[in-house]
Amino acid sequence: MAPPPLPMRDAAPIPSFSPLGLGERRESGGRDRRERVERERAEREGRERRERGEGGFCFCCCRDSFVPLRVSQRLRLAEEGGLGTLAPNSSSSSRDRRATMNPGHHHRTPRLLLLLLLLLVVLLPSLLCGAQRTPRPRTGPAKKAQQQQQKQQQQKQQQEKQQKQQKQQQQAEEEEEDLGAGPLLYFGPQFYSDCPRECFCSPDFSTALNCESRRLSAVPSLPNRTQHLYLQHNRISAIPLEPFQNASELRWLNLNRNKIASNKVAKNVFSKMKHLLHLYMEHNDLKELPFPLPSSLQQLKLAHNRIARLPSAAFNKLTNLLLLDLSSNQIEDGALSGEIFHGLKGLIQLNLYKNKITKMPPQLPRGLYQLFLERNSIAEIPESYFDKLDHIFSIRLTFNKLTDSGLPRSIFNISTLLELSLGHNGLTRVPLFTPRLEHLHLDHNHIKAWNVSEVCDLRNPVPAAGPARLRYLRLDDNELRALSTTEIIICFPLLHAFMI
């Protein structure tokens, strides 16, 4: 008995061996082999290119398998029938297919995508932060200028405030130091029994009493022999009669840098000093001129006070006064009216620097040599103002408000003039001056041109009277456009220095 047949689980169907089916399988097998060969060749070429660094391939689906193709190949395949599945009955030959798969230009799509992704990662936080940030309003030029001006004003106010605080602190420290300590006593050897303990009496200068910087708040009693008294740099606030009753021979009195007030100066304290020659009271708290003063006085220095008034007869008897210094006060035109300087017959120097004067002081002494009027507000000078000043050789008018209209052209053509200072004004032309002038300061004006031939003849620069004596010339910080330095040197052969 024959055994039963085994069960045929998962048995593949027996293929048909008809001649037609065999031919089709052979044809499809040959086509598959050709495609496989072409894929292997393409893969091999791709590997070689990747090894050489060419790259640029992408993998596209071709008949259910991945084949490395370039972008140009993908576009050509898309035109023929699309990517994905190639028609099995495609009529293109293997030569055309190889031409289609022939690599062209390098394709860098993966690298570009990677770069774009990195840029997006880097820029995304800043873009998000920038979207949340409030945009700053744009400001025009006028707004910027206004803001800059406000900033400068604030800085200036802050600096002034700091300076004021420092000054107040310094004053407080000085007051505390001075109030906390008494006068400094001199414990060295004293050669005179009548010498005050607060002062020093030198054996080589028996007529001098040196009480400088001793923290004194009052004038000590003076010996009869005192002729030179030095009391500067103290805290003296009053000048009574008593200490000076025995000082009949006093010739030199220095009270600079104290705290002397006008209402605390005894009325006749100075007039009784019949031999007084020099009186110095600079840097005090005087509001009025000490009056009366002795007729013997030769030098009176009252600078850096607050003097605004001058008695009409203040200088009537000061016929021997040579030097009067009233600089850095608050003197106005009204205090100089009339014949205020009429009695000063021997005055040679008048210093009114830095006051509140707007006009030239009237009726100056004929024998005046030097006139200092810097840092005032003088705008004009009368044409014949200097005609009666026979000996004037120095005029200083810097930092005023002089202009061409207020300044006659030949006002300074004075035969005795040696020094002329007109810097920091509003002049646009050079005034005429004498050939004897040695110092000329015209800096910081608005001078645009200067015809040097007005001063000297360039064809004959050395006249019979001699060459021009100008030695120092300042024309810097003007608006000069064309100025020949050669002409200046020819015209002024004695010139030592000049600034243009």
Say which residue the tokens 């009237």 belong to: 362
How much is the average pLDDT of 340-369? 96
For residue 233, give Cα distances in angstroms to 135, 209, 259, 270, 277.
63, 14, 9, 20, 21
Q: Which of 48, 52, 31, 23 is nearest to 97 (CA)?
A: 31
Q: Which one is predicted more confidently, 177 or 61?
A: 177
What residues does each domain of the chain span? 45-101, 196-285, 379-500
Decide: residue 485, CB within 10 A, 0-12 exposed, 13-18 middle, 19+ buried.
exposed
pLDDT surpassing 70 at residue 84: no
Return the CATH number of 379-500, one of 3.40.50.720, 3.40.50.920, 2.40.50.100, 3.80.10.10. 3.80.10.10
- For residue range 281-323, list pLDDT tens digits in order: 999 999 999 989 999 999 999 999 999 999 888 999 999 999 9
**What is the model's pLDDT at position 146?**
80
Q: Is there a shared CATH topology between the 196-285 domain and the 379-500 domain?
A: yes
Say which residue the tokens 């040579």 belong to: 322
pLDDT surpassing 60 at residue 232: yes
- For residue range 463-487, list pLDDT tens digits in order: 766 788 999 999 999 999 888 888 8
Fold of 196-285: 3.80.10
Residue 324 structure tokens: 């009067």
How much is the average pLDDT of 230-249? 94
How much is the average pLDDT of 363-377? 97
Q: What letter does residue 363 receive in the DSSP assignment?
A: S
Give every CB contact of residue 329 below 8 A, 6+ residues apart in sequence.
302, 303, 304, 305, 306, 307, 308, 354, 355
For the chain, give the percent of residues with pLDDT over 90: 49
How much is the average pLDDT of 442-449? 95
Average pLDDT, the chain: 81
**What is the model's pLDDT at position 462?**
72
How much is the average pLDDT of 442-466? 83
**What is the model's pLDDT at position 204?**
87
pLDDT surpassing 60 at residue 449: yes
How much is the average pLDDT of 203-211? 91
Among positive and negative, which fits the CA dihedral 304, 306, 312, 318? negative
**What is the model's pLDDT at position 55?**
47
- For residue range 28-61, list pLDDT tens digits in order: 566 777 778 888 888 888 777 776 654 444 444 4
What's the rounded Cα separation, in Å, for the pair 116 and 247?
Answer: 102
**What is the model's pLDDT at position 337?**
86
What's the rounded Cα separation, in Å, for the pair 256 and 237?
Answer: 12
What's the rounded Cα separation, in Å, for the pair 443 and 36?
Answer: 101
pLDDT surpassing 60 at residue 133: no
